[in-house]
Structure 1
Amino acid sequence: MLKNYIKIAYRNLLKNKVYSLINIFGLGVGIACCFLIFNFVQKELSYDTYHANYDRIYRVIHGNTEGDNTIEGKSYDDFWVWGNAPVGPALQNDFPEVDKVVRFSGRADILFMLEEVPYQETGVLFMDSTAFDVFSWKLIHGDPKTVLDAPYKVVLTESTAMKYFGETDVVGRTLDGSASPGRSDAGLYTVSGVMEDVPENSHFDFNLLLSFETFSTNRPFILESWGYVDTYTYLLMDKNTDFEAFQAKLPSFVERVRALDDDIGNYDIAVEKMEDFYLRSEAQRQPGTVGSLPNIYIFSMIGLFILVIAIINFMNLSTARSLERAKEVGIRKSIGADRSSLIYQFLGESGMIVSLAGIVAVLLVALALPIMNDLTGKTFIFNEMLNTKTIPLFIIGLMIVGLLAGSYPALALSSFKPVSILKGVSKTDSKGVALRKGLVVFQFALSISLIVGTLVVYNQMTHLLDRDMGFTDEQMLLIEYNYDFQVNSIMEPIRDRLEDVSGVKNVAFSRSVPGSYFPNAGTGIVNAEGEFVYKDQAIFQVGMDFIEQYDLEMVAGRSYSRDILSDTTQAIVVNEALARQYGYANPADMLGKRFEQWGKEGEVIGIVKDFNFVSLHNEIEPLSLPYEPFASRYVSIKVETENLQETITEVEDIWSEMVPHRPFLYSFLDEDFNNQYEADFRFRKIFTSFSVLAILIACLGLLGLATYTAEQRTKEIGIRKVLGANVASLIAMLSWDFVKLVLIALALAIPVSWWAMDSWLQGFAYRTNISIWIFPLAGILALSVAVFTISFQSLKAALVNPVKSLKSE
């Protein structure tokens, strides 16, 4: 019997080649998309799980709270991961639950010289010697207990060791970091270890580790300063730690800390679990990239939508063609087959189709991996995706899909009454027709929702790129030189030489530029009530020409002037948000008010209009722009658009002449600033790509149904043509039934898609509104695709010779 079932299933596949191909390919694409999205989601959820101590690793987040000092009610988006150095040892001293502490600095760049060749190394961290006790990074060479236990020791990643030395067995070799005199971390570093590259699914990464002893030896005051921010602190907790009980003890710890230092005000801390670092942390100043949990939910839903749409196609085509199998069912029942055996037969047939679709899916996954890697910016390897864990899940998934896709057709076919069928009495099951229409409405509602989502995402990203940020970023060439003392000591001669280049308009120096790293500073200013108060805010240390260079608009007062000597030591310019922070509704009222900041005193001389110096995910923060050119890290060069490459070459020649010890590292500000939106652009690409696939799969099913409907109405079409119906009216008749379903789907999709995309837009401080035109446009696009899909088959049916049509029965 089983052999007979397989033979019949095989014959039906060959007999109905078009429908078989639609079912197999449609399901194959749906399964492949779902599998790819599943792997993407798994990779996002797997961040940091490679650490053996994953469940025991926590980190400290720092902030300032007003009034009640309890965990409940804290706004974690006001907290920073970046904080002070002494908090870790203090926690370890006060709480036996804290097993080990590992601290590391904010990301640094260091200039190394190797065989007279300069390398500006990025991704450098100063890290405690306990790093390899807490984190599960694998050392290829070196002792994990001693690799970071003394000043000027360095651990290289495997790829960094290959870059510098061409091999990994390099313990004892040296890297000369003394090429930047004046920096506290300059010196000769000895390679003490080489480790494997940091796994891709890590919430922060690096190219090399320098010992925290180097950091603390050169700046020992940091270890005791509760108000100096330049350290990340991670904790390895005891295995039996009660996290809630530990949290409950923190307020009393914070009170003791506040008593030690009056200057830290309402300083507060909380702790986060490692499972929250990548996807759930709302704290600012992360040590690396973070993911988006809402995006994970969205991608998961898209994967499910695509699979559901493919399953609906299968069910629709199977039930629509059920009458063609009616006589077979009648004969089988008349010779003794019971309903259960027929159900098993048809479920087996659907299982065969799903198995073939699974093979197609595997082939499509293998072909699509390079595209998937490009879309997501992550590395997916076929052999790693199909492993002992995923293969059983894939097989179970196919079985579930086969059961879902084949259940209704099997139940519908097995319910036919043999007496009626063998007498030739057969009529369309109204319940089956209603179900098919309902499924078409459902899958097109999903498709329209995806079209709306795609339009909203594109609209928001266009809004980000087109928004006036409040500063000039076009044709702004940046040279990054990492605070080099030698460069800052000759910045005026460098500026003069660069401004002599014909393609250069003007030049300015600064520590930060929009979109780059910037520190925060405690600043005391007389507020609107006449009180001298300290508040914390972002700080851009700038040279004399920075404000003019970036076309920042002065809303009150003036910028710095070379003609006023006191501007270099006793003046400060701030933004409107900072004026509001101190209670000034009218920025001009802040002019002349006394300030103190990092040892400098004087008065406020100007207020610039607010500009977006961070991404549009965030509101504009209070910002001060003190004159401090010797803290600079960047040269900003405004260049002409004509002969740009020649200008860059001339600039490089001047740089190489005046700064021979440092490589010429340049970029353009607009590109650097937009890199903040890389994750958003990737989201757009992934969302759009899978949305298009979902719509194509829906249309594939619609094509199959349209073809079958046209076949069923062959005789009707012939009679109508004999009675004078023209081709256009026949196409309209055949298409209208499907167009009505798409219109119903549009009505259902509007509220759902509006709610979903409005929730997504909440992640942007500056967001576009969901325009009403998006919904009719989505409907028009869906209708156009549906009509195009149907019209070809409708046209083919309408053009058939009526004589042939009337002979068809």
Structure 2
Amino acid sequence: MLSNYLKTSLRNLRRNKTYATINILGLALGMACGLLIFMLVKYHLSFDDFHADSDRIYRIVTEQHRDVISYTPGVPSPLGKAFRADYDFAEKVARIASEEDMTITVKDGDKIELFKEEGGVAIVESEYFDIFNFPLVLGNMKTALVEPNTAIITERLAKKYFGDQNPINKTFQFGDKIDAKITGILKDFPKNTDQKTEIFVSYPTLKQYNEWLAGDDAWGGITSGMRCYVRLRPQVAVAQVEKVFPAYVTKYRPTSTNVHHYKLQPLDDVHFNADYGGPMSKRNLWVLSFIGIFLIVTACVNFINLATAQALNRAKEVGMRKVLGSLRGQLFWQFIAQTAVITILALLLAVVLTVVVLPYVNIWFSSEVSFNILNDWQLLLFIPALVLLVTFLAGSYPGLILAGFQPVVALKGKLSQQHIGGFNTRRALIVTQFALSQALVIGMIVIAKQMSFSVNSDLGFDKDAVVTVPIAADYQKGKTMQGELEQLAGVESVTMCFATPASNNSNWNTTPYYDNDPKEQEFRVSVKAADANYLETFGLELVAGRNVFPSDSAREMIVNEAFARKLNLKAPEELLGKTLVVSNGDNKGLIVGVVKDFHDLSFHEEINPIAIFTNPGLYNTYAIKLNAADLTTTMAAIEKAWKESHPGQLYSYEFLDDDIASFYETEALMLKLIQTFSALALFIGCLGLYGLVSFMAAQKTKEIGIRKVLGSSIAQILWIFGKEFGRLILIAFVIAAPLAWWLMRNWLADFEFQAKFGAGVFIWALLGTFFVAFATVSYQAVRAALMNPVTSLRSE
């Protein structure tokens, strides 16, 4: 019986090659997207799930309650030590202080090599490796991180730094020339972990690197790089632990208006919680999953449409089989077998497409997903489940239609559209298909407009042709280097600063004291320590007062209009001459100027109060305004001058507009995905349209011939096809528009500053869909309209 089903199925596919090709291609595209999205979602859901007792591992995080609530994964550095000493809720407690993008110096005799490590260096308590499953392949974890200036690194870095030599007892330098001796080698980390640092230095070394951070009284500030992890004892509840945290705020920060709320964040939330820097929100995974399901359903809708349309051509076959004794169930399973053959062929093509496209998906998502069906039991189960789902989803309805034909009616050729579900069924399927496609297209247009608005709007400062390079010397040498850079052809201005006006890398917020008030303000201020060239380099506009005078200390301050608004002042001039203190009293000066507001963060955030002041001890970056006429020559000159001034150090640079663009990496990724999936959805839908128009043209051959004999023009013949599908696309748009509007309003709610959207967004989406649909149906429609009416009338 099964052999007969397969033979019949293959025979029908060979007889209807166009039908088979369209179905196989449509299903293959939908299934390939389903496979890719399944692997991507599974990859992200697996992050850090390989640690023992992962359900009891938590990170202590901080909610900072000022005038607004902000979130940071960091905690005051003494918190972990105090918690360990005061309570026995946790089996293990570990603090880790990390800094990214550090230069590592490796010496081998007279040979010196420099390496830029994006993951940077982590100064860590050894209990960290009791909590997390990152095993050593060389060394003893009990002793490896006990002594100061000892370190463990991964196998990958050991190979990178020392080749085939034994890395144990080798040394390297980091930070301000701090030496570290390698006492252990870690097994390379798995792909699915958020632990990106591969260099771990013993915690006693922190005192050399940052004496303040290493102190037991450093409760006054938080850096996001200072984190604390705990593994709770069995039966200890999260609420029980969080209940004791307010005592630390009362004891160590009793007068601060920046009220800390310490929370326990589960390990399985770290990868997904954007508030604390999670790289992939679960909302995005839900969106991806929905799109994958939608594309598979779209391909199945195509199949159903084409299969029911083709059913009339198989009427006599079905009638003959019923006369010869075939049962309804046998006919149904015969069609399911044919669908299974098409689905399996589509799966083979989908696998090929998946393998080809996967490297590009990994680049887009910065992921390391691999297609290895033999070693992935979840994928091994998903693929046959997908085949079964598609087979029955696509094949059941057409199979029931075919099996339900009355043999006498079928053999007499009296079957009509009503016998195969009628046009209304296929109309409903086409409307559903194009409604979802148009919703994607509208979403794509909205995201693209918001991205363009975010990147190209006036940010309140000049971001074009500004490059940043590191200051790698003390202030006096750095000042000399600044003078050399200013003399280069193509350089318009140079400022030494802590951070550019808007930066995705260096953001320092602190609570200010204003006008000699002993009580700190309830809002935070963003610190932009910089020399007197800062305003000129970035084109910042003064609305009151003057620029700061050149100085080697913080004597004068410049603030922005947002600072005045936070104080409820009527005019910026009211700030002039007032005293401002930031950074726990380390920086104090008179406010001498107020600049026009500029965006210091992404368009997701409101504009923060800003404090600009001179303090050479905080400068770490040269910001260089270039003449855009000859950037290549100027950049080469900057690199040459920097290397001559800093021999033996690693040169790096970044353009400010690239740094600002990194604010919107997630949105840029979503735009690429929506563009891709919108194109795929429309393409799959158009495959179905093409097949239906082909069938419609064949069914209306005699009608078209009669109409032409009676004088109908080609345009009138084309209208027969156009009005049917045009009406359906218009109905689909009426459904898609409010759905897309609701979804996009929710998406835009994450932006404080939004682009303006009018009816044009929806009109362009509708016109675009009409154009694609017209291009799809026009070939077959024109071909039918141009057919010789004599030939048309003889065809039946």
Q: Normalised by the size of structure 1, how large is the TM-score?
A: 0.92
Question: What is the distance in 2 between the residues matched to 1:583 and 1:385?
Answer: 65
**Residue in structure 2 matching 1:510, options 461, 484, 497:** 497
Partner residue, 1:272: 265
**Aligned amino acid, residue 687 of structure 1:** I
- The answer on whether the counterparts of 1:222 and 1:228 sit within 8 Å (CA) in structure 2 is no
The Cα of 1:490 is off from its aligned counterpart by: 1.8
Question: What is the distance in 1 between the residues matched to 2:536 and 2:195?
Answer: 36
Shift in alpha-carbon separation, 1:30–1:103, aligned structure 2, 3 A? same
Partner residue, 1:540: 528
The Cα of 1:544 is off from its aligned counterpart by: 2.3
Is 2:112 the partner of 1:116?
A: yes
Question: What is the distance in 2 between the residues matched to 1:194 and 1:777?
Answer: 58
- The answer on whether the counterparts of 1:92 and 1:99 sit within 8 Å (CA) in structure 2 is no
- The answer on whether the counterparts of 2:63 and 2:70 sit within 8 Å (CA) in structure 1 is yes
Shift in alpha-carbon separation, 1:671–1:190, aligned structure 2, 3 A? same
Query: Counterpart of 1:473 in 2: which secondary structure?
Result: coil
Q: Relative to structure 2, which stretch is displaced further, 349-358 or 655-664?
A: 655-664
Partner residue, 1:243: 238
- The answer on whether the counterparts of 2:106 and 2:171 sit within 8 Å (CA) in structure 1 is no
**Residue in structure 2 matching 1:572, options 535, 542, 557:** 557
Question: What is the distance in 1 between the residues matched to 2:384 and 2:600?
Answer: 50
The Cα of 1:347 is off from its aligned counterpart by: 1.6
Shift in alpha-carbon separation, 1:244–1:391, aligned structure 2, 3 A? same
The Cα of 1:711 is off from its aligned counterpart by: 0.2
Partner residue, 2:74: 82
Is 2:91 the partner of 1:99?
A: yes
**Aligned amino acid, residue 714 of structure 2:** V
- The answer on whether the counterparts of 2:555 and 2:613 sit within 8 Å (CA) in structure 1 is no
CA deviation string 1:99-135 (max 9, x = no partner): 2112112415245252234445442221111121112
Partner residue, 2:782: 795
Is 2:446 the partner of 1:468?
A: no
Shift in alpha-carbon separation, 1:129–1:724, aligned structure 2, 3 A? same
Is 2:345 the partner of 1:356?
A: yes
Partner residue, 2:317: 328
Q: Relative to structure 2, which stretch is displaced further, 320-329 or 442-451?
A: 320-329
Please show how residues 10-49 of structure 1 align to structure 2 within 5 Å: 10-49=10-49
Shift in alpha-carbon separation, 1:771–1:203, aligned structure 2, 3 A? farther
Identity of aligned residues (%): 32
- The answer on whether the counterparts of 2:701 and 2:784 sit within 8 Å (CA) in structure 1 is yes
Question: What is the distance in 1 between the residues matched to 2:362 and 2:519?
Answer: 57
Q: Normalised by the size of structure 2, how large is the TM-score?
A: 0.93
The Cα of 1:148 is off from its aligned counterpart by: 2.1
The Cα of 1:645 is off from its aligned counterpart by: 2.4
The Cα of 1:524 is off from its aligned counterpart by: 0.9
CA deviation string 1:166-192 (max 9, x = no partner): 247401101134xx7xx4xx3221012
Query: Counterpart of 1:643 in 2: which secondary structure?
Result: helix
Partner residue, 1:399: 388
CA deviation string 1:406-447 (max 9, x = no partner): 110111111111222233422221743211111011101111
Is 2:182 the partner of 1:191?
A: yes
Partner residue, 1:551: 539
- The answer on whether the counterparts of 1:509 and 1:632 sit within 8 Å (CA) in structure 2 is yes
Unaligned runs of 5+ in 2: none
**Residue in structure 1 matching 2:142, options 123, 142, 145:** 145
- The answer on whether the counterparts of 1:758 and 1:770 sit within 8 Å (CA) in structure 2 is no
Partner residue, 1:781: 768
Q: Relative to structure 2, which stretch is displaced further, 797-806 or 262-271?
A: 262-271
Q: Relative to structure 2, which stretch is displaced further, 385-394 or 717-726?
A: 385-394
- The answer on whether the counterparts of 1:58 and 1:272 sit within 8 Å (CA) in structure 2 is yes
- The answer on whether the counterparts of 2:468 and 2:654 sit within 8 Å (CA) in structure 1 is yes
Shift in alpha-carbon separation, 1:199–1:606, aligned structure 2, 3 A? farther
Please show how residues 258-337 of structure 1 align to structure 2 within 5 Å: 258-265=250-257, 266-283=259-276, 286=277, 290-337=279-326
CA deviation string 1:2-22 (max 9, x = no partner): 322222111111111100111
Question: What is the distance in 2 between the residues matched to 1:148 and 1:606?
Answer: 50
Partner residue, 1:581: 566
Please show how residues 132-211 of structure 1 align to structure 2 within 5 Å: 132-167=129-164, 169-177=166-174, 183=176, 186-211=177-202
CA deviation string 1:335-390 (max 9, x = no partner): 33222222222222212211221112112212222332233232232226973221
CA deviation string 1:17-73 (max 9, x = no partner): 100111111111111111111112222222222323321211112234479xxxxxx
Is 2:704 the partner of 1:717?
A: yes
**Aligned amino acid, residue 116 of structure 1:** I
Shift in alpha-carbon separation, 1:196–1:588, aligned structure 2, 3 A? farther
**Aligned amino acid, residue 588 of structure 1:** E
Query: Counterpart of 1:189 in 2: which secondary structure?
Result: strand
Is 2:54 the partner of 1:54?
A: yes
Question: What is the distance in 2 between the residues matched to 1:587 and 1:200?
Answer: 52
Shift in alpha-carbon separation, 1:438–1:680, aligned structure 2, 3 A? same
- The answer on whether the counterparts of 1:151 and 1:217 sit within 8 Å (CA) in structure 2 is no
- The answer on whether the counterparts of 2:498 and 2:619 sit within 8 Å (CA) in structure 1 is yes
- The answer on whether the counterparts of 1:524 and 1:535 sit within 8 Å (CA) in structure 2 is no
Root mean square deviation of aligned Cα:
2.3
Partner residue, 1:440: 430
Query: Counterpart of 1:262 in 2: which secondary structure?
Result: coil
- The answer on whether the counterparts of 2:62 and 2:71 sit within 8 Å (CA) in structure 1 is yes
The Cα of 1:330 is off from its aligned counterpart by: 1.8
Shift in alpha-carbon separation, 1:698–1:121, aligned structure 2, 3 A? closer
Shift in alpha-carbon separation, 1:172–1:18, aligned structure 2, 3 A? same
**Aligned amino acid, residue 643 of structure 1:** D
- The answer on whether the counterparts of 1:494 and 1:658 sit within 8 Å (CA) in structure 2 is yes
- The answer on whether the counterparts of 2:50 and 2:133 sit within 8 Å (CA) in structure 1 is yes
**Residue in structure 2 matching 1:501, options 459, 464, 488:** 488
Question: What is the distance in 2 between the residues matched to 1:9 and 1:549?
Answer: 73
Shift in alpha-carbon separation, 1:204–1:456, aligned structure 2, 3 A? farther
Query: Counterpart of 1:572 in 2: which secondary structure?
Result: strand
The Cα of 1:737 is off from its aligned counterpart by: 0.8
- The answer on whether the counterparts of 2:106 and 2:161 sit within 8 Å (CA) in structure 1 is no
- The answer on whether the counterparts of 1:754 and 1:770 sit within 8 Å (CA) in structure 2 is no
Shift in alpha-carbon separation, 1:530–1:255, aligned structure 2, 3 A? closer
Q: Relative to structure 2, which stretch is displaced further, 640-649 or 266-275?
A: 640-649
Shift in alpha-carbon separation, 1:116–1:339, aligned structure 2, 3 A? closer
Question: What is the distance in 1 between the residues matched to 2:587 and 2:721?
Answer: 81
Query: Counterpart of 1:797 in 2: which secondary structure?
Result: helix
Question: What is the distance in 1 between the residues matched to 2:112 and 2:382?
Answer: 55
Question: What is the distance in 1 between the residues matched to 2:165 and 2:737?
Answer: 58
- The answer on whether the counterparts of 1:479 and 1:635 sit within 8 Å (CA) in structure 2 is yes
Question: What is the distance in 2 between the residues matched to 1:168 and 1:54?
Answer: 36
Partner residue, 1:234: 229
- The answer on whether the counterparts of 2:492 and 2:626 sit within 8 Å (CA) in structure 1 is yes
The Cα of 1:629 is off from its aligned counterpart by: 1.9
Is 2:561 the partner of 1:591?
A: no
- The answer on whether the counterparts of 1:132 and 1:145 sit within 8 Å (CA) in structure 2 is no
Shift in alpha-carbon separation, 1:534–1:415, aligned structure 2, 3 A? closer
- The answer on whether the counterparts of 1:127 and 1:212 sit within 8 Å (CA) in structure 2 is yes
Shift in alpha-carbon separation, 1:113–1:542, aligned structure 2, 3 A? farther
- The answer on whether the counterparts of 1:130 and 1:145 sit within 8 Å (CA) in structure 2 is no
- The answer on whether the counterparts of 1:226 and 1:264 sit within 8 Å (CA) in structure 2 is no
Shift in alpha-carbon separation, 1:358–1:154, aligned structure 2, 3 A? same
The Cα of 1:281 is off from its aligned counterpart by: 4.5
The Cα of 1:693 is off from its aligned counterpart by: 0.9
Shift in alpha-carbon separation, 1:570–1:24, aligned structure 2, 3 A? same
Partner residue, 1:70: none
Partner residue, 1:72: none
Is 2:618 the partner of 1:631?
A: yes
